[in-house]
Amino acid sequence: MSVCGKYEKCTCVAAGKPFTAQTIVECRLADWADNTVLAVDARAVAGGAEAGSGEVRYGGRLYFTVLAATPEGGVISAERGAEFTHGVPCESAAPAQTADVKVRVEKVEWKKDGRALVLSAILSSEITLFVPAEISYLAGGEGVAVDLKPVRVSKVYACRGEAEIEEEFDTDYVGDVLAHSERVYIERAEAGDGAVEVSGEINLGILAKREGESDTISYERLIPFRAEIACAEAARGLGCTAEAFVRSVNISASCEEDKGRCRILAEFTLGLCARVYRSEEVYMGADAFCPGYESRLEKQAVLSGGPVAAFNASERISGGAALAGKTDFACSLQAVAFGGVRIAAEVHDGEIEAEGVVSANVLMKDADGRPASVEMSLPFSFPVRCDRAKKGMRAELSALACGIAARQKREGELDADCALKLHCTLFEECSGEAVTKLEAGAPAPERTAAVSVYIPCAGDGLWDVAKRLGKPPEEVRRTNAELEFPLTGSERIVIYRKKQIDTGSF
């Protein structure tokens, strides 16, 4: 009997395991040696990314905002930008792959160099490669027995876009806008036909000086937005995720002194990134053998996964803040600036454990009435209820810290509180196996007994019995029609073999 396997092919696009890299970006401010730095904020905007042979290259632009006190006791600010590019060695990278890079500012430092102020930021990058692959799997054939099982095959598509957002609002009358900071929060991402629909909020923080004074004051504005990211592979019902960042911003103010009001116009260009997950079940040979022959198999793991649930939550946090400086009752707290949040998640059965820290700079006047500042950090940890959460799943949390406030109840200590908005996405990953090669070896040894009795194990299915007996499942089913699978272990399977009787001596 000839043995000839039948093979079929399917394609997938899998997201590889993310890996990280770091780089340092520097920028100089000339003739700033006489000023005292109060706070520095940095915002990274990712540019393009490209996978090459053994390397991933990416770039972008970093924006610094500096607040400082002058020798005369005033508060001034400056903004500077710096381009950056970075190459990361990666053995598995290839030109056919697509690279997706998320960049965030890990740490900001500054130092004086002569009359100049040198600003530096450590950038952390999370790099994901989208790898197209073709799987050739055993689907049947002549002289082979194949156990076909459904295997989930995933395709992940990355897409990008931009959105223009504009908002006008009134504030109290101010003399000068010193600085602004922006944090973007996605609260919904849904795949539509040919596009990913996203919505969320921009948390705009404005730091200003009162008219005729050196006192600082801060304002916060939540700006809702909706946008679409074109994606040819998107369709309703598919899983997706999205992120957004501020690519550029323009803040202008027009003041009406007689009314004591100030009109703020904020114009944003948002960079939008989305991933669309498409999956299907393909029946592949999970196991196989050649009846009557020894068999050699090669198998390939098939990994897939994607988002299974997404929801929003909120939590109010408060407590004693850790301080990177000193304060006392002689200090007068004025404003909170450059607030942000870092958050991580761990999934348990029925809940997601959220843990992280909210940080901000508190601006104040010291005992001599001079501008001063202190950086504060408020750690937090709390559970988020989710009925679909199971241990072993992965969760991604994006968070927005709103209304960060600080107050001094005890000398030298600050209590802080804020409201956290959370968007939670649960991912479930699964793996399957496919036979990619089957070869027939030497003929299997023949049993000499005319009758054999096979004692199965509890839970054995038809395929288990057929493989142990070395017979096609159809034959086992036909010759043992009374069996009900899975077996209980109490059955006895009798195998009869035809024997040639030698009658020559009679």
CA atoms in the 13 A half-sphere facing the CB of 321: 32
Q: Is 477 helix (H, G, I), strand (E, B) or coil?
A: helix
* pLDDT of 423 strictly over 70: yes
Residues 6+ apart with CB under 8 A from 401: 183, 203, 339, 340, 341, 358, 418, 419, 420
Q: What is the mean pLDDT of residues 485-501?
A: 80
Under 8 Å between Cβ of 41 and 181: yes
pTM here is 0.85
Under 8 Å between Cβ of 23 and 460: no
| Confidence band for 13, pLDDT divided at 50, 70 and 90 | confident
pLDDT over 70 percentage in the chain: 97
Which pLDDT value is given to residue 259?
Answer: 73
Single-letter code of the amino acid located at 484? E
Which pLDDT value is given to residue 433?
Answer: 92
Q: What is the mean pLDDT of residues 199-214?
A: 87
Which pLDDT value is given to residue 506?
Answer: 45
Task: Give the integer Cα–Cα distance in Å for 220 and 57.
Answer: 37
Q: Bigger pLDDT: 453 or 51?
A: 51
* pLDDT of 302 strictly over 60: yes
Task: Give the integer Cα–Cα distance in Å for 174 and 210.
Answer: 5
HEC secondary structure over 142-196: ECCEEEEEEEEEEEEEEEEEEEEEEEEEEEECCCEEEEEEEEEEEEEEEEECCEE
Q: What is the mean pLDDT of residues 327-337?
A: 93
Q: What digits encode the pLDDT tens for the residues 131-148? A: 888 899 999 999 999 999
- Ordered domains of the chain (ranges, CATH): 4-279+305-431 (no CATH), 446-506 (3.10.350)
Least confident of 232-246, 314-328, 347-361, 464-478: 464-478
Task: Give the integer Cα–Cα distance in Å for 506 and 499.
Answer: 18
* pLDDT of 450 strictly over 80: no
Structure tokens at 463: 């395929």
| Confidence band for 443, pLDDT divided at 50, 70 and 90 | confident
Q: Bigger pLDDT: 109 or 261?
A: 109
| Average pLDDT taken over every residue of the chain | 91
* pLDDT of 358 strictly over 70: yes
- With CA atoms as reference, report the closest residue to 110 among 64, 143, 73: 64
Single-letter code of the amino acid located at 450? A
Under 8 Å between Cβ of 243 and 128: no
